[in-house]
Chain A
Amino acid sequence: MNGEQTAVSCRGVVKSYITGPTKVMALRGLDLEVRMGELLMLVGPSGCGKTTLISVIAGILDHDEGDCVVFQQDLRALGQGGKTRFRGQNVGFVFQAYNLLPTLTASENVAVPLLILGAGRAKAVARAQEMLVKVGLEDKIRSLPAQLSGGQQQRVAIARALVHEPRLIVCDEPTSALDHETGGRVMEVLRHTALSSDRALIIVTHDNRIFNFADRIARMDDGRITLIESQVASS
């Protein structure tokens, strides 16, 4: 596989936390590659290091040892400001609890990444409205998060993660707060709207009902990847 096809390359990544007198090893020399155009699911028991891994890949957490290269950029070589800019330009986030700003409308929430990157308000909101149409929320553009169902809020969050056209989408338990049917619809939206040949998706999940949407499933345990399964994803 050449470098251009690799979105994320982790080699021997170690990350530990100090909790009081105890040192907790979250990642123990982890290796992982994520390809462009694929949807990779990270699965495993609670506390196995899934969230730590996506935090490192997204440039939110610094790892202690090893290499983590995202789009040919070694994240450890970037300072905090550089990482922040890198995230803003290259990473889209979908959170378990949606994290939509409750006082902003759906379109304003979706416009936030563009505003952070310095886009004008009118342009950002117009682009956000286009994204909301893509995720099927054209009639909820002016709705506040509290006026939306869980599935609708997650679709707003997906639109927000995509609006600035990042090359990596990181999702943390995107369906865990949704019922099976809604979760399935959200995954369909995510797969159809977010996935493209120049973009990679990493989804952390416990929800085995959505495993069939993955191109590959990386199983984690005790800070390591224990198994990577390829499969034909349902689209």
Chain B
Amino acid sequence: MYSIALKMLIGDRGKYLGIIMGLTFASLLITQQSAIFTGLMTRTYGFITDTSQPDVWVMDPKVQFVDDIKPLQDTELFRVRGVDGVEWAVPLYKGLLKGRLEDGNFQICNVYGLDDATLVGGPPVMVQGSLNDLRRQDAIIVNDVGANTRLARRPKEPGGRPTPLKVGDTVEINDHRAVVVGICQVTRTFQSQPVIYTTYTRATTFAPRERKLLSFILVKAKEGQDPRALRERIAERTGLAAYTAQEFKDLTYNFFMKNTGIPINFGIAVGLGFLIGTAIAGQTFYNFTLENLRYFGTLKAMGATNGILLRMILLQALMVGAIGYGLGVGGASLFGLAMRGTELAFRLTRELLYISAGAIVIIIVFSAVISIYKVMRLEPAIVFKG
């Protein structure tokens, strides 16, 4: 009877394709929009991901997320170093500074100042040059996307191609000369400005004069020390906020979730995909059942039990669900592959595949239940009505 169920389904090409299209659309939209959302949210804490060495991040207690800079006094660094269990603690500057390009244009850049002695917090991947080159005079390292786009030299002729910023080029940061000594790759962040790494001392020289310039203190726990216990101790002893890297990511993630329109915008797109998918697939599947009601009645009259018919409908629903889900997820994956390396944030995780599968299961169960209800209540006497 299962082969009959499948033949009934596949034989009605129009409806079969309609149901699969609905489910594919739902699966594609749910997976793709969720993946973009996840990618976007992952970018919010991209800098924390890239800065992998410290166990604990120390900052002003009022800081709400990674880009919310509330500088500390330099003396806070020594207080943190004095806490038991601290292996090392280094300063980190993070700020938006104005860079002046060779052609006179200005570009706001995300400048990170690393501890002069250790250069802890440097970029995860060097494309050209080495991190140690930052020790040279006026040295900066620029990220590849920034060097190729916003910091690139404008074409001399209209319609020409811009010339990427390269090692040896100079830029002015806040009226200070800076020489590019390396090109790096960083995780794209929520801010799209070019990223510039330099030393802490040089960054604070670039930055406008302020009483406080220390953005974060990066702390490594001594071997055997629990980072959670250490961050509690630091907070208790200094009155500053201290988070493990994961906690700081969560803080940032939650801030964007609560205080931006991102979740609701993507939620609407995902919800719309779910609703439209349910409407198209549910309606078409129900119509398919209605049109086949005479045949279900015939099967019932010929001795097919409700159990057999139930399993037939479930099999039909399962088949279109599996195909629709596969096509949708496949389409979303191809989309992600095509967009790899572009500005588009796209991160397709295993959890998202489960969520998408769950949504499709809900849609097909809904579609099947209304059809099953109709067939279960069907009087086989319908077959004698001409």
**Which A residues lie at the B interface, using CB under 8 A?**
51, 54-55, 58, 60-61, 81, 84-85, 87-89, 91, 93, 95-97, 99, 101-104, 108, 112-113, 115-117, 121, 172-173
Interfacial chain A residues near B4, Cβ < 8 Å: 101, 104, 108, 112, 115
The DSSP consensus for interface residues of chain B is helix
Question: When chains A and B are docked, how far (Å) is the Cα of A74 from the Cα of B184?
Answer: 88
Stretch at the interface among B41-49, B147-155, B300-308: B300-308
Question: When chains A and B are docked, how far (Å) is the Cα of A173 from the Cα of B385?
Answer: 11
Question: When chains A and B are docked, how far (Å) is the Cα of A79 from the Cα of B381?
Answer: 16
B12 interface neighbour in A103, A104, A172, Cβ under 8 Å: A103
* Minimal Cβ-Cβ distance residue in B for A85: B303
Contact across chains for A84 and B381 when beta carbons are under 8 A apart: no
Question: When chains A and B are docked, how far (Å) is the Cα of A113 from the Cα of B308?
Answer: 13
Of B7, B298, B379, most buried by chain A (CB within 10 Å of CB) is B298
Contact across chains for B295 and A84 when beta carbons are under 8 A apart: no
Contact across chains for B10 and A103 when beta carbons are under 8 A apart: yes
- In this assembly, does B384 line the interface, its C-beta being within 8 Å of a C-beta of chain A? yes
Contact across chains for B301 and A58 when beta carbons are under 8 A apart: yes
**Min CB gap A96→B, angstroms:** 5
- In this assembly, does B8 line the interface, its C-beta being within 8 Å of a C-beta of chain A? yes
Contact across chains for A51 and B8 when beta carbons are under 8 A apart: no
Question: When chains A and B are docked, how far (Å) is the Cα of A202 from the Cα of B10?
Answer: 36
Binary CB contact string for chain B from 38 to 77 against chain A (1 if under 8 A, 0 otherwise): 0000000000000000000000000000000000000000
Contact across chains for A87 and B302 when beta carbons are under 8 A apart: yes
B305 interface neighbour in A84, A102, A113, Cβ under 8 Å: A84
Question: When chains A and B are docked, how far (Å) is the Cα of A96 from the Cα of B384?
Answer: 8
Interfacial chain A residues near B305, Cβ < 8 Å: 81, 84-85
* Minimal Cβ-Cβ distance residue in A for B302: A113
Binary CB contact string for chain B from 297 to 334 against chain A (1 if under 8 A, 0 otherwise): 01111111100100000000000000000000000000
A55 interface neighbour in B294, B304, B308, B384, Cβ under 8 Å: B384
Interfacial chain A residues near B1, Cβ < 8 Å: 115-116
Question: When chains A and B are docked, how far (Å) is the Cα of A88 from the Cα of B7?
Answer: 22
- In this assembly, does B104 line the interface, its C-beta being within 8 Å of a C-beta of chain A? no
Of B7, B294, B384, most buried by chain A (CB within 10 Å of CB) is B384
Known: A84-B303, A85-B303, A101-B8. 18 other contacts (CB 8 A): A54-B384, A60-B301, A60-B380, A60-B383, A60-B384, A61-B379, A61-B381, A81-B305, A88-B302, A89-B303, A91-B303, A95-B298, A95-B383, A95-B384, A104-B4, A116-B302, A117-B303, A121-B3
- In this assembly, does B160 line the interface, its C-beta being within 8 Å of a C-beta of chain A? no
Interfacial chain B residues near A93, Cβ < 8 Å: 298, 301-302, 383
Interfacial chain A residues near B341, Cβ < 8 Å: none
Interfacial chain A residues near B386, Cβ < 8 Å: 96-97, 173
* Minimal Cβ-Cβ distance residue in A for B382: A60
**Min CB gap B22→A, angstroms:** 20
Interfacial chain A residues near B381, Cβ < 8 Å: 55, 60-61
**Min CB gap B11→A, angstroms:** 2
B303 interface neighbour in A55, A87, A101, Cβ under 8 Å: A87
Interfacial chain A residues near B384, Cβ < 8 Å: 51, 54-55, 60, 95-96, 172
Binary CB contact string for chain B from 1 to 28 against chain A (1 if under 8 A, 0 otherwise): 1011001101110000000000000000
Interfacial chain B residues near A54, Cβ < 8 Å: 384
Which 7 pairs show the lowest CB-CB distances between chains A and B? A88-B303, A103-B11, A99-B298, A51-B384, A87-B303, A116-B303, A60-B380
Of B301, B302, B383, most buried by chain A (CB within 10 Å of CB) is B302
Interfacial chain B residues near A101, Cβ < 8 Å: 4, 7-8, 295, 298
Contact across chains for A99 and B304 when beta carbons are under 8 A apart: no
Question: When chains A and B are docked, how far (Å) is the Cα of A117 from the Cα of B1?
Answer: 10
**Min CB gap B49→A, angstroms:** 54
Question: When chains A and B are docked, how far (Å) is the Cα of A60 from the Cα of B304?
Answer: 12
Interfacial chain B residues near A87, Cβ < 8 Å: 301-303
* Minimal Cβ-Cβ distance residue in B for A80: B306
**Min CB gap B94→A, angstroms:** 65
Question: When chains A and B are docked, how far (Å) is the Cα of A60 from the Cα of B294?
Answer: 14
**Min CB gap A193→B, angstroms:** 18
Binary CB contact string for chain B from 260 to 296 against chain A (1 if under 8 A, 0 otherwise): 0000000000000000000000000000000000110
Contact across chains for B304 and A104 when beta carbons are under 8 A apart: no
Question: When chains A and B are docked, how far (Å) is the Cα of A117 from the Cα of B305?
Answer: 10
Question: When chains A and B are docked, how far (Å) is the Cα of A121 from the Cα of B3?
Answer: 9
Question: When chains A and B are docked, how far (Å) is the Cα of A61 from the Cα of B294?
Answer: 16
Interfacial chain A residues near B10, Cβ < 8 Å: 103
* Minimal Cβ-Cβ distance residue in B for A99: B298
Interfacial chain A residues near B11, Cβ < 8 Å: 102-104
Contact across chains for A116 and B301 when beta carbons are under 8 A apart: no
**Min CB gap B298→A, angstroms:** 4
Question: When chains A and B are docked, how far (Å) is the Cα of A74 from the Cα of B298?
Answer: 23
* Minimal Cβ-Cβ distance residue in A for B386: A96
Known: A84-B304, A104-B7. A112 touches B12 (CB 8 A): no
* Minimal Cβ-Cβ distance residue in B for A81: B305
Residues facing A in B342-386 (CB within 8 A) are: 379-381, 383-384, 386
Interfacial chain A residues near B3, Cβ < 8 Å: 121
B294 interface neighbour in A58, A99, A121, Cβ under 8 Å: A99
**Min CB gap A160→B, angstroms:** 8
Known: A60-B301, A112-B302, A116-B304. A103 touches B383 (CB 8 A): no
